[in-house]
Amino acid sequence: MPPSPIRKLVPFAEAAKKKGTIVYHLNIGQPDIETPKAVMEAVRDNHIRVLEYSHSAGNESYRKKLVEYYNRVGIHVNTDQIIVTTGASEAILFGFLACFDPEDEIIIPEPFYANYHAFAVSTGVKVVPVNSSIDTGFALPSIVEIEKMITPRTKAILICNPNNPTGYVYTEKEMLELRELIIRHNLYLFSDEAYREFCYEAKHFSAMYLKDVDNHVILIDSISKRYSACGARLGAFITKNKTVLDAIMKFAQARLSPPSFAQLAGEAAADLPEDYFNTTKTEYKKRRDLIVKRLNNIKGVVCANPGGAFYVIAKLPIDDCEEFCKWLLKDFSHNNQTVMLAPATGFYETKGLGKQEVRLAYVLNCDHINAAMDCLEKALEVYPGKR
Amino acid sequence: MPPSPIRKLVPFAEAAKKKGTIVYHLNIGQPDIETPKAVMEAVRDNHIRVLEYSHSAGNESYRKKLVEYYNRVGIHVNTDQIIVTTGASEAILFGFLACFDPEDEIIIPEPFYANYHAFAVSTGVKVVPVNSSIDTGFALPSIVEIEKMITPRTKAILICNPNNPTGYVYTEKEMLELRELIIRHNLYLFSDEAYREFCYEAKHFSAMYLKDVDNHVILIDSISKRYSACGARLGAFITKNKTVLDAIMKFAQARLSPPSFAQLAGEAAADLPEDYFNTTKTEYKKRRDLIVKRLNNIKGVVCANPGGAFYVIAKLPIDDCEEFCKWLLKDFSHNNQTVMLAPATGFYETKGLGKQEVRLAYVLNCDHINAAMDCLEKALEVYPGKR
């Protein structure tokens, strides 16, 4: 099991703070957006006498609310097709356990969310990366390239849409191409849509919109980012494939139930007025526009304009992103401030890729983003490993 | 992955209830004891603005409270030796992932908590059962018997103390024998002590009391039963073995964090006055005394007097416990009431064992236990598969 590539830098950030340096955390997807009041009130106002196990698939009352939410975004499922999980993390773990045998292969466009690798290691599944590139804004690799990687052990393709770490939003055309591919090779399509509500231009095209592939498509979801409720630990595993659902239920029953308080929060979240996301999205879009502009104004920095989520990958004129990110915390400060970034190498399966790239999470307000970009700009002027 | 042996009966219970029959649930360890008010208030009174991820090992404030709790019960650990998990379930899963390679073996006295098997299947670990018998009250099998099962692939012994499903409390002598064994064969000792506070005569002897085996002992814990807070989903993985802790942290980081609301509940629970358990224990002891007396008064029924937890295994004069438990729900009622029991076969790894045994969880009040025992007594008079 590899250590978390981001967490490795934490001791350096802690040391910097101990010295009195302000550290701007653009390294993790922990939003500063307030959790909706109605969501917190639902937990505060509970009248629970005995805090019992919930149903292993999650409370039916919560699954009913989820059905309504999904209906509103054009995803038509019923309560039996939803298994509530402890974060999207558990949904992915269950999916890997239920759909794969050890040594089976899953194709994932890289760079990808580093913990997919961790769940693959936990379940003996082999991750096969297909490279997506900053030059195309991290669009889906060509189907020809993906098809080249398919072996008799390939069981699934996994996408994250909108993507963490690239912010890319897959187009309808790309999704339809994937549909052909999963039919042709009889594969599962795992679609992690935790950032669904954060698309700034294009409309989100869910994998659940794909026609006549009900037995192939698996939706992974989470309320963490959608409602700024990461600490709730509430996700969902959704599919219309009855056999897969039956298998997932066995794993769900073994761990008894998802967290009860979080399900109260989730019910209230699903009831939020439809304009809730407008406010949040406007804020994130403003931040994206700012950070992309600031990045592109720095000499030698290249970055795409990502259409969703709250991440952007930038290519920097540096020797090695891991060294650079460590140096930012250890040896650099500007007006007693510095910035913490995520080295992109941690998101690539292929060794050697992403060495000049970093991921920035625009989860701070615009003043802090400006201050962080000032730091980055100054840092790139004096970094000894500049290229 | 096998289906949960208890959950298989759920549809029959639901059908009985639809017919208007009252079903007494002695089949699962879901206590009816009220969750302490202070625990619920801690969640209701929260002032969280942004529901953030907690530390992957759990909030330090919660781990500090746990250190105080463990100190009070004679277990001396520090905050770095505790990793907070989503229920004991996750602690067991992490332990298996971190300490075993696929095909490694773990010895568990049977009957045992059925989900251990599920977590073993999930991680490719092989469970090797050693039989404990109702004739000895389910005491630890002799060390000679256990030692016979050890192979080069054996990495650990797992006990649950007090035991689910037998209620047996391991003696200091048995624990010291296990200590010798794990030293002699260089094994881990996993000790699941979720029912620690429910010992009715003997004092609990924790695996953490064993001297000079710090690198061998792994404590699995949970607040679910201790504070009647099953829905919180809060457990802990505890060891003084630094290498194991480092490995567990990687899995903990991959799933980001344990649930935040539950940790508020956990902090308040650790602060409960010391007499809290007296009241709860008095209630459970009264129930145990009642259920054991009622069982032993039924002709042909044999049961031990378990020293802890809230379970008892009874041997019934029947052909097959799975058939009998199904028949109780499907074909029997007494004054429009029936009882749901857990077939003990689900707790045995060895096929064919436990066919005449059932597990009863005394999680209902004495009136309901009496009513349930009336049903059982009548049922055994008329059951067609009587032996």
Chain A contact probe: residue of B103, B246, B256, B257 with most A CBs at under 10 A: B256
- Judged by CB atoms closer than 8 Å, whether chains meet at B35 and A46 is answered as no
Examine residue B111 and say whether the peptide bond preceding it is cis (omega within 30 degrees of 0): yes
Domain covering B7-34+276-382 assigned CATH 3.40.50.9100 in the classification:
no
How close is the nearest chain B Cα to the Cα of A101, in Å? 10
In angstroms, the CA B69 to CA B270 distance is: 6
Interface of B with A in 257-316 (CB under 8 A): 257-262, 265
Which residues are within 8 A (CB) of A33 and not within 5 positions of it... i.e. 6 or more apart? A228, A280, A283, A363, B50
Rg (CA), chain A: 21
DSSP B145: H
Report chain B's mean pLDDT, rounded to a whole number.
96
CB spacing of A115 vs B254 below 8 angstroms: yes
pLDDT grade, residue B387 (50/70/90)?
A: confident
Mind listing the pLDDT tens digit for each residue in A206-264?
Answer: 999 999 999 999 999 999 999 999 999 999 999 999 999 999 999 999 999 999 999 99
Architecture of the A37-270 domain? 3-Layer(aba) Sandwich (3.40)
**Residue A33 token pair:** 């957006």
pLDDT bin (cut points 50, 70, 90) of residue B213 is very high
Q: Judging by beta carbons within 10 Å of its beta carbon (0-12, 13-18, 19+), is residue B367 exposed, middle or buried?
A: exposed
pLDDT of residue B40: 98
Q: What is the structure's pLDDT at B8?
A: 83
A49: closest chain B residue by CA: B34
CB A320 within 8 Å of CB A386: no
pLDDT category at A274 given cuts 50, 70, 90 is: confident
Residue partners of B196: CB distance under 8 A and separation at least 6: B73, B161, B162, B204, B206, B221, B226
pLDDT beyond 90 at B5: no
ipTM (interface predicted TM): 0.95
Note the helical H segments in B171-228.
Answer: 172-184
User: How much of chain A, in percent, has pLDDT values that exceed 70?
Assistant: 100
Which residue in the block uniquely carries the two structure tokens 């339809």? Answer: A176
pLDDT number for residue B4:
74
Q: Which of B68, B70, B67 is nearest to B78 (CA)?
A: B67
CB A85, CB A248: distance < 8 Å: no
Mutate to test the interface with A, among B10, B245, B255 (most CBs of A within 10 A): B255
pLDDT score recorded for residue A329: 98
Q: What is the pLDDT of residue A258?
A: 98
Predicted confidence (pLDDT) at residue A387 exceeds the cutoff of 90? no
Nearest to B360 by CA among B277, B281, B297, B304: B304
**Residue listed under structure tokens 């099962």:** B149
Buried b (16+ CB within 10 A) or exposed e, A363-378: bbeeebbebbbbbbbb
Please compute the mean of the pLDDT values over residues B314-332 and round it to a whole number. 97
Which of helix, strand or coil describes residue A325?
A: helix
CB within 8 Å: B34 and A50:
yes
Cβ-based neighbour number of residue A126 at 10 Å: 16
Determine how β-strand B105-110 pairs with β-strand B126-131: parallel
Q: Is the predicted pLDDT of residue B7 greater than 90, yes or no? A: no
Measured at the CA of A11, the angle between CA A6 and CA A12, to 5 degrees, comes to: 90
Q: Quick one: average pLDDT of A292-299? A: 97
Residue A104: pLDDT band with limits 50, 70, 90: very high
* Domain chopping of chain B, boundaries: 7-34+276-382, 37-270
Distance CA B235, CA B219 (A): 11
Q: How far is CA A252 from CA A98, A312, B97, in A?
A: 11, 34, 18
pLDDT tens across B22-70, in order?
Answer: 999 999 999 999 999 999 999 999 999 999 999 999 999 999 999 999 9
- Is the separation of the CB atoms in A121 and A100 below 8 Å? no
pLDDT band at B6 (very low <50, low <70, confident <90, very high): confident
Task: Report the pLDDT averaged over residues B356-377.
Answer: 97
Give the per-residue pLDDT at B108: 98
pLDDT in tens, B255-294: 999 999 999 999 999 999 988 999 999 999 999 999 999 9
Mean pLDDT of B95-123: 97
Cα–Cα distance between A17 and A23 in angstroms, integer?
7
| Mutation choice for A interface testing from B50, B83, B224 by most A CBs within 10 A | B50
**Average pLDDT of chain A?**
96
Q: SS3 for A148? A: helix
Residue A6 pLDDT: 76
